[in-house]
Structure 1
Amino acid sequence: MRVSGVDRALAALACLAGLLGVALSAAAAHVPGADSLKTAAQFLLFHAPAILALVGLGTAGFARSNLARVAAGLLVLGLILFCGDLSARTWLQQPLFPMAAPSGGFALMGGWLAGILCAWVPARRG
């Protein structure tokens, strides 16, 4: 079993999402009215294990590795846009850019859809 650099990067980004989720949870506990930070923290913490699972499934050969990478990559992109926008609105009092959060939400949904395909499309056996 060979792990690609892309898989390692996705796994590292998943762990970063978990770290940021914990940090935002702690920050939200100390910032009055930080409901957006709580939401961002939850999204980061919910999706970090999913990204790790997708990378693991692809690497272990239980899912097509390219499809698993696409799914994980869409989840990472979605987290950056969605959680980044919510955090920027809280800390900077302005969005990342117009439609960043909805774009991130669509990327997250696309990642989950690609995850469904990972479960249904058989892995190639060579």
Structure 2
Amino acid sequence: MIKPMAPPPEPTAGLLRFCLVLSGIAGAVGIVTLALSAHSGISASLETAAQMLLFHAPVFLGIGVLSQIRQVLILPFTTLSMATGLTLFCGDLITNALLGDGLFPMAAPIGGMLLIVSWIALALGALRVVPRQS
């Protein structure tokens, strides 16, 4: 006898909550970094880091909302790789601008590659979007 397929898991608040936290942190740190860049004249790297943070803050929000209305299996990976990439890329730019030394060698390029991977993962995930079952 063939068993019917189990319905997809119910939406959970876990990824949504995590994405909302990431969105808030990225937005807040982006604003602080942009203000520091504007008022201190320390480095153009600060402005780049701020822009990257502010560009990605709404993306985390969108991923969190999408996780609640559609089943996209790659969203947790996308979220983690984007958050890690943003932390490495922007963290390296900010510490280099403020302290004169980055996080570690190749931190920004590794972070940039993770950001690229996360955007590709998001695009690939869009090809496999499945409506959630009620």
From 30, 52, 59, the equivalent of 1:50 is 59
**Larger-Rg structure:** 2
Identity %: 38
Which runs of 5 or more residues in structure 1 are unaligned?
none
From 40, 46, 56, the equivalent of 1:31 is 40
- Separation in 1, partners of 2:29, 2:132: 37
Matched with 2:20 is 11
By how many angstroms is 1:46 displaced? Answer: 0.3
Q: Flag the structure with higher helix content.
A: 1
How many correspondences in the alignment? 124
Matched with 1:95 is 102
Q: 1:114 to 1:79 in 2, by over 3 A?
A: same
One-letter amino acid of the structure 2 residue matched with residue 84 of structure 1: G
Matched with 2:130 is 123
From 80, 84, 98, the equivalent of 1:77 is 84
- Separation in 2, partners of 1:52, 1:72: 10
Q: Is the contact between residue 55 and residue 69 of structure 1 (CA under 8 Å) also seen in structure 2?
A: no
Name the Cα RMSD after superposition. 1.6
Q: Is 1:86 aligned to 2:93, yes or no?
A: yes
Q: Deviations 1:14-46 (Å, cap 9, x if unpaired)?
A: 210011111111000012242000000000000
- Separation in 2, partners of 1:15, 1:33: 25
Q: Is the contact between residue 88 and residue 108 of structure 2 (CA under 8 Å) also seen in structure 1?
A: yes
Which runs of 5 or more residues in structure 2 are unaligned?
1-9
TM-score norm. by structure 1 comes to: 0.89
